[in-house]
Amino acid sequence: MALEKTLVLLKPCTLQRALVGEITNIFERKGFRICGMKMMQLTDELLSEHYAHLSEKPFFQRVKDAMMTAPVIALCLEGVDAIAAVRALAGPTNGRNAAPGTIRGSYCMSFQENIVHASDSPETAAVELARFFRPEEIFEWNQATFPWLYANDEF
């Protein structure tokens, strides 16, 4: 168990569908601490880096183009085992296969237009947080509910 920070992006489809508040609320209700939050217009250059692992895929450019059709909201979320917990809450990539109750299972029908991006490992989270946030845009603040979110041997 470790207190971790992870990167979430609310994708352009989420802004277009006016789901920013609803999806952010899911993360807040779950108990994650919001350490950073900002609106950004992504560029092809940044997306080529962010989605480098997809560069050989036939849909690479299409996925990047979709991510530039509107701004995104970048979130830095913190919690115990936050990286895996956010991925579990997001559900698998294809919304049609995602279990009911997950974000993708509840809010989307698409492989591509799948509401959120979430970092998939501690190494990726560190690289992605540095890609989307400057150090001074990540805030440490005392989450008053912390003792009610975890037992004291869980962090």
Instruction: Note the residues at the interface with ligand ADP (CB under 6 A).
Output: 51, 54, 59, 63, 93, 111-112, 114, 117, 120
CB of 52 to ligand ADP, least distance (A): 10
CB of 32 to ligand ADP, least distance (A): 18
Q: What residues pair up with 117 in beta bridges, in sequence order?
A: 9
To the query of whether residue 117 is one of the catalytic residues in this protein, the response is yes
CB of 4 to ligand ADP, least distance (A): 17
Judged by beta carbon, residue 51 or residue 146, the one nearer ligand ADP is 51
Judged by beta carbon, residue 87 or residue 149, the one nearer ligand ADP is 87
Active-site choice (12, 86, 117, 119): 117
Q: Token pair 């993360």 is at which residue?
A: 27
> How far is it, in rounded angstroms, from Cα 87 to Cα 104?
10
CB of 56 to ligand ADP, least distance (A): 12
- Give me the DSSP letters along 131-144: HH--GGGS-----T
Judged by beta carbon, residue 48 or residue 112, the one nearer ligand ADP is 112
Residue 12 and residue 70 in contact, taking contact as beta carbons nearer than 8 Å: yes
Helix extents (H) in the chain: 12-16, 20-30, 44-50, 60-66, 82-90, 103-107, 122-132, 146-149
Q: Token pair 């845009």 is at which residue?
A: 137
Residue 115 and residue 103 in contact, taking contact as beta carbons nearer than 8 Å: yes
Structure tokens at 133: 């946030």
Active site residues: 117
